[in-house]
Structure 1
Amino acid sequence: MIQTVTVIGANGTMGCNVSGIFASFGEVKVYMVSRSMEKAKNAVEKAAMSVRADAIKENLIPADYSMLENCIKDSDLVFESVAEDLNIKLSVNHKIAKYVDKNTIICTGSSGLSIKELAEAFPESIRQNYLGVHFFNPPYNLTLCELIPSEYTDRNLFCNIREYVTNTLYRTAVEVNDAPAFLGNRIGFQFINEALQYAERYKDNGGIDYIDSILGQFTGRSMAPLVTSDFVGLDVHKAIVDNLYDNTNDYARDTFIMPEFVINMVNNGVLGRKTKGGLYKLEVSNSGAKKKMVYDIASNSYRDVINYSFPFADGMVNAFKVGDYNTAFKTLINNHSTEAEICIEFLLKYVIYSLNTNNIVGKSIHSADDVMATGFNWCPPLAVIQALFGIESFKSLAEERLSNDLLNQIDLDMLLSKVEVSKYDYRRYFKAKR
């Protein structure tokens, strides 16, 4: 039974939020280990706010690294949540290894590094207690928790953690294989990074906000893809896609190449919302008036966000408003403007890449649906097939709208032969919003 948890890196966004989840849903004592007591105390306040439960503060104990030994020795579970950097995590694991015993459960919140390699920082007798427990941000709103065993992980311990995560922390626990970026981020950031590449390709049409307007909430996601990148942080985005480019070799590998303009932003510390500017930024005048700006790739400067009007998008939104989903998707399919073609192409490729990646990383045909619905709040791939009028219609659209080069690299019939009806209703994801 888990009664005490140590979270290392608790002053970071995820460490702070995960501490709140353990303390509120798990009702356990949490040592929030940060680089200084001041940071730890601030993290306690943020953790309570993150789960809207001020009462949990009595369960949150600020600590710094000088207290690490006592914290770990008093804990049933240690959760590492330091920077997403292999060397940093290995260094922290070596510290943890000094104080854990054979009964301590050790988890990493890594969003995509090798669990096997991280486990090897521990003595062989301890590696069986180590696994990946990947929450999604913000965990109070997004219930997904990817669980990643390594080849060393004890299966009984894994099953116990899965039950704890599901029944005590109320997460959607999805077991995935130990593969780069696991399942959710591999699918999600393939889509997001390719959208960035298209923003660069169509920079003379508007670039960033142009592509986001084509792939907005009416296309089955709670947040447009490039807005999502800004929310996550361009540095985190870069770490994820660099890892995928270096360590995967499927047909979509080149879609993980980050455009040069974004690399320059990262190098200059322009990282998105956390630096108050990235692909988008909010300008506040002396009078307090707020104005949303977007980085214009063509001119290398910020400008006002444009309110684009595309007939296919207007038609879809109007149909969604009255619950006429068939008309909405027929509007998309039958409109052959550049923007509609980009939109349908992205939806088709999203499904195909999800199915293909799920074969490598997932444990069931529904794994990709679970991670995209509960980790990204995007319409899951099997549900998109239903929205586009079923398997035969989807196959015809893919053969008609996608390049021969892509189709020759996949086995579309094999991928679609495994498709089942989604557990999720696509109608809740396609919003009557631009």
Structure 2
Amino acid sequence: MNRIIKKVAVLGSGIMGSRIACHFANLGVEVLLLDIVPKELASEESEGGVATIQDKAARNKIVNAALETTIKSNPSPVFTKSVVNKITAGNFDDNMKDIASCDWVIEVVVENLEIKKKVYDQVEKFRKPGTLITSNTSGIPIHMMAEGRGDDFKAHFCGTHFFNPPRYLRLLEIIPTPFTNKDVVEFLMHYGDKFLGKTTVLCKDTPAFIANRIGVYSIMSLLHLVEKMDLTVDEVDKFTGPVLGRPKSATFRTTDVVGLDTMIKVAKGLYDNCPDDKARELFKLPAYVAKMEQNNWLGDKTGQGFYKKIKGADSKSEILSLNLKTLAYEPQQKIKSTTLETLKSIEDLRLRMKAYAMGKDKAGEFFRTSFAGLFEYVSDRIPEISDELYRIDDALRAGFGWELGPFEVWDALGIAEAVDMMKKYGHVPAVWVTEMLAAGNTSFYKVENGEKKYYDIPSKTYKNIPGTSQYIILDNIRATKTIWKNAGTAITDLGDGIINLEFHTKMNTIGGEVLEGINKAIDVAEKGYRGLVIGNDGANFSAGANVGMIFMMAVEQEWDEVDFAIRMFQNTMMRIRYSGIPVVAAPHNLTLGGGCELCMHADFVQANAETYMGLVEFGVGLIPGGGGSKEFALRASDAFAEGQIDQNILKDKFLTIGMAKVSTSGREAEELGYLQKDKYAISMNRSRLIADAKEKAIELADAGYTKPVQRKDIKVLGKSGLGMVLAGANTMYSGHYISEHDKKISEKLGYVLCGGDLSAPTLVTEQYLLDLEREAFLSLCSEKKTLERIQSILTKGKTLRN
């Protein structure tokens, strides 16, 4: 079905409704956000006759207040501030008729079936036939909401369960009813994936669907395990955080953020609606949780939950954790574990899981006990909540931030070995697992010909995961498609004449091995390929240059080595710019310092929507030294109107670097000047990023890509611009806004951006600016205060303002 979404109506402006509206606006879709009319005016409005209930502002007060609160929330639900202009607020009484112009109506009102039915009465009255109508409910069976509706309504009605916050959590559960048209389901699965950037998971209409059914089971089982094993809040969050491939917020902190009441509501719903669930008793609240509910200790929304922030005697904030026995808040305890210490050196998460399961202390026992139960639970849920096991893994990764889903962890441990472990803890897998092993199948997943396959239970064969053929997952092709590698990089053949260079250093920092890899990749591409993509599947694109290496050389006063390293970095960035083949960068998440400079020199940037890009060298007492300062001078020159010089343009460039501004999205990276209009595009879905970048490289090659010529026409302002910079830095220093060292760095940066102290505006070359940039960088490396800043970042992870 050829369906285009131009306008969406969101009915209900609460936390989820407003954020869903913002995310659609992020795509450029026009949004109509509606809520109820206040029953009566607030006293401050009604007194003195300032407004009446007939006034538009008064009638839209609820929706306007909700949207305003959402926009101010952190992290931001919008890519840029201008996105909000796509949203029109209104109310059910006056504006429900306007849904006739909408292509999709999403209901996000309170979780009450009768209220939803009343809303649907109005929707059915005004929606045009064929319009999608979906509900974001998480607690009401989808089929119950479709009952009594007309045939066209039922055919286009479906559940679309977003996870909060919808911009950042990638899960979108699609729950059809028996009446939903097949093409509607296919459209929602595709649209959610490609345009909303989601992992779309097809669910059955069962209680809590997939992610919450398994995720809340996991949390509830841990809440009971805490009592059984006499664990503390601090221990559980240490055992279930990043070491397990899960968010830093782990278990209890996540519950505080989401709200203990939310988790309790889902748990109670599962207890009431799943009478045949073997693990049903685990959905009962432990006594300490019931007491917390009674005390209204629900987490962040009530100021305390499993954690509580207080101000100490020195007025510094301190976070206390709850003693689950006494229900008193106590200082957090540092957790010591031999098992966790041994896991620190294991980068590969799958290998780490295997080592975790062998731990001899409390952490190892916790791992085995919790996963023995989880493995049984997920195997028992097939086919109840899903016919395919991969959907369960997809849901937990995208909805709860697990790096590995439960079946993927099971694979990492070895299925047969994990079954033996389960039996020791009183758990048995579902019969289909035993039959699978008996037939000689020893894994839930395997990779063949670059594609990941899953074990299909009904057919007892391995099948391709639907939809993933459009993705390029480097993990799946690296074993057979790698054509060169060194200690920090690998070059992989993507097919169709395009190769990819990926980094795999810590935080994907850029050091000598990465620079070698970039140059090698360009050599290889120029000799026998059509284009190069620089991208990876890591947590971040790149945290920047390896400042630890610079620090060590500077401490040893090996200035020739430092100078060589800077030249090498600059030359490599220029090689990217002036290679004989198109180079497409594919950044995502952190893209800082040298990672940002790399993108600024690429022919094109295919950025993930969640790209946080910035030149942050000021934080370590330096200026951008890999061509970033040069590039901002060049872009300022290009922004000057013909025959005119606008110092405000230079000022903006200076402040962007001087304030170490980092974009909060790929779109904002353009506003900050890191990305250039017409030279970048956004991939909403991270899983599509490498494939999208490959397509762009092919497009550039097909268009007859030719090697660019180095620039010799960059207009710099010399003393006229430098005077502005020096005056501004001196004013900031005099006002105690910056330190003396900040002032010195500012002057160095201004000197480069202005092309030195030339007597008049002059045209200069890129190499001229690179030389100035390198000299300034080198001189700052010799400053004691710069070395103190670098040391603070390396040892404490904190920016020092000395």
When the two structures are superposed, what TM-score results if normalisation uses the length of structure 2? 0.49
- CA gap of 1:409–1:58, structure 2 versus 1, over 3 A, is closer
Aligned counterpart for 1:2 among listed residues 2, 5, 13: 5
- Structure 2 unmatched ranges of 5 or more: 39-59, 453-472, 477-536, 540-802
Asked whether the equivalents of residues 44 and 57 of structure 1 are also in contact (C-alpha less than 8 Å), the reply is no
SS, match of residue 6 in structure 1: strand
C-alpha separation in 1, matches of 2:173 and 2:331:
38
- CA gap of 1:84–1:199, structure 2 versus 1, over 3 A, is farther
SS, match of residue 25 in structure 2: helix
Structure 2 residue 373 is matched with structure 1 residue 349: yes
Structure 1 position 408, deviation (Å):
8.1
**1:233 aligned partner, one-letter code:** G
In the other structure, the counterpart of 1:239 is 265
In the other structure, the counterpart of 2:383 is 359
**1:41 aligned partner, one-letter code:** N
C-alpha separation in 1, matches of 2:353 and 2:201:
30
Structure 1 position 372, deviation (Å):
1.2
C-alpha separation in 2, matches of 1:174 and 1:358:
15
Matching of residues 158-307 of structure 1 within 5 Å? 158-202=185-229, 205-222=230-247, 223-248=249-274, 249-285=276-312, 288-307=315-334
Aligned counterpart for 2:145 among listed residues 110, 114, 118: 118
Q: 1:9-36 CA deviation, whole Å, 9 max, x = no partner?
A: 22x22212211121112x2211122345
In the other structure, the counterpart of 1:413 is 434
In the other structure, the counterpart of 1:57 is 84
Structure 2 residue 30 is matched with structure 1 residue 34: no
In the other structure, the counterpart of 1:375 is 399
**2:19 aligned partner, one-letter code:** N
Q: 1:80-134 CA deviation, whole Å, 9 max, x = no partner?
A: 1123344443443344334334322111111242000111253344222211111
In the other structure, the counterpart of 1:44 is 67
**1:78 aligned partner, one-letter code:** V
C-alpha separation in 2, matches of 1:354 and 1:408:
9
Asked whether the equivalents of residues 207 and 270 of structure 2 are also in contact (C-alpha less than 8 Å), the reply is yes
**2:410 aligned partner, one-letter code:** I
Asked whether the equivalents of residues 380 and 429 of structure 2 are also in contact (C-alpha less than 8 Å), the reply is no
Matching of residues 140-155 of structure 1 within 5 Å? 140-155=167-182
- CA gap of 1:219–1:97, structure 2 versus 1, over 3 A, is same
Give the share of equivalent positions with the same residue, in percent.
26
In the other structure, the counterpart of 1:308 is 335
More RCO (CA 8 Å, sep 6+): 1
C-alpha separation in 2, matches of 1:364 and 1:93:
33
Aligned counterpart for 2:101 among listed residues 68, 71, 74: 74
C-alpha separation in 2, matches of 1:162 and 1:28:
18
C-alpha separation in 1, matches of 2:349 and 2:170:
29
- CA gap of 1:88–1:350, structure 2 versus 1, over 3 A, is farther
**2:319 aligned partner, one-letter code:** K
Aligned counterpart for 2:124 among listed residues 85, 88, 97: 97
In the other structure, the counterpart of 1:17 is 19
Q: 1:286-311 CA deviation, whole Å, 9 max, x = no partner?
A: 75411112222211222222222122
After superposing the two structures, state which structure 1 stretch, 242-251 or 45-54, moved more: 45-54
In the other structure, the counterpart of 2:356 is 332
**1:67 aligned partner, one-letter code:** D
**1:29 aligned partner, one-letter code:** E
Structure 1 position 257, deviation (Å):
1.3
SS, match of residue 291 in structure 1: strand
Structure 1 position 402, deviation (Å):
2.0
- CA gap of 1:117–1:419, structure 2 versus 1, over 3 A, is same
C-alpha separation in 2, matches of 1:289 and 1:263:
31
Q: 1:347-392 CA deviation, whole Å, 9 max, x = no partner?
A: 233233223324322242311111111111112123212322x222
Structure 2 residue 135 is matched with structure 1 residue 108: yes
Q: 1:205-242 CA deviation, whole Å, 9 max, x = no partner?
A: 45433333332321231131222222211111112111
- Structure 1 unmatched ranges of 5 or more: 430-434
**2:29 aligned partner, one-letter code:** V
Aligned residues: 418
- CA gap of 1:210–1:100, structure 2 versus 1, over 3 A, is same
SS, match of residue 446 in structure 2: coil
SS, match of residue 360 in structure 1: coil
- CA gap of 1:69–1:333, structure 2 versus 1, over 3 A, is closer
Greater CA radius of gyration, 1 or 2? 2
SS, match of residue 63 in structure 1: strand
- CA gap of 1:319–1:325, structure 2 versus 1, over 3 A, is farther
C-alpha separation in 2, matches of 1:89 and 1:281:
36
Structure 1 position 265, deviation (Å):
2.8
SS, match of residue 365 in structure 2: helix
When the two structures are superposed, what TM-score results if normalisation uses the length of structure 1? 0.87
Asked whether the equivalents of residues 311 and 318 of structure 2 are also in contact (C-alpha less than 8 Å), the reply is yes
Asked whether the equivalents of residues 93 and 121 of structure 1 are also in contact (C-alpha less than 8 Å), the reply is no
Structure 1 position 163, deviation (Å):
2.1
**1:38 aligned partner, one-letter code:** K
SS, match of residue 116 in structure 2: helix
- CA gap of 1:394–1:159, structure 2 versus 1, over 3 A, is same
After superposing the two structures, state which structure 1 stretch, 221-230 or 256-265, moved more: 256-265
**1:402 aligned partner, one-letter code:** Y
**1:350 aligned partner, one-letter code:** L
RMSD over aligned CA atoms reads: 2.8
- CA gap of 1:62–1:245, structure 2 versus 1, over 3 A, is same
SS, match of residue 336 in structure 2: coil
SS, match of residue 258 in structure 1: coil
In the other structure, the counterpart of 2:634 is none
Structure 1 position 145, deviation (Å):
0.8
**1:20 aligned partner, one-letter code:** C
Matching of residues 382-421 of structure 1 within 5 Å? 382-388=407-413, 390-399=414-423, 401-403=424-426, 406-407=427-428, 412-414=433-435, 419-421=444-446
- CA gap of 1:90–1:324, structure 2 versus 1, over 3 A, is closer
SS, match of residue 309 in structure 2: strand
In the other structure, the counterpart of 1:432 is none
- CA gap of 1:356–1:411, structure 2 versus 1, over 3 A, is same
**2:141 aligned partner, one-letter code:** S
SS, match of residue 389 in structure 2: coil
SS, match of residue 319 in structure 1: coil
C-alpha separation in 1, matches of 2:391 and 2:429:
25
SS, match of residue 309 in structure 1: coil
- CA gap of 1:191–1:34, structure 2 versus 1, over 3 A, is same
C-alpha separation in 2, matches of 1:415 and 1:87:
45
Asked whether the equivalents of residues 206 and 296 of structure 1 are also in contact (C-alpha less than 8 Å), the reply is no
- CA gap of 1:254–1:126, structure 2 versus 1, over 3 A, is same
C-alpha separation in 2, matches of 1:125 and 1:295:
52
- CA gap of 1:100–1:257, structure 2 versus 1, over 3 A, is same
SS, match of residue 318 in structure 2: strand
Structure 1 position 135, deviation (Å):
1.2
Asked whether the equivalents of residues 144 and 374 of structure 1 are also in contact (C-alpha less than 8 Å), the reply is yes
C-alpha separation in 1, matches of 2:349 and 2:199:
30
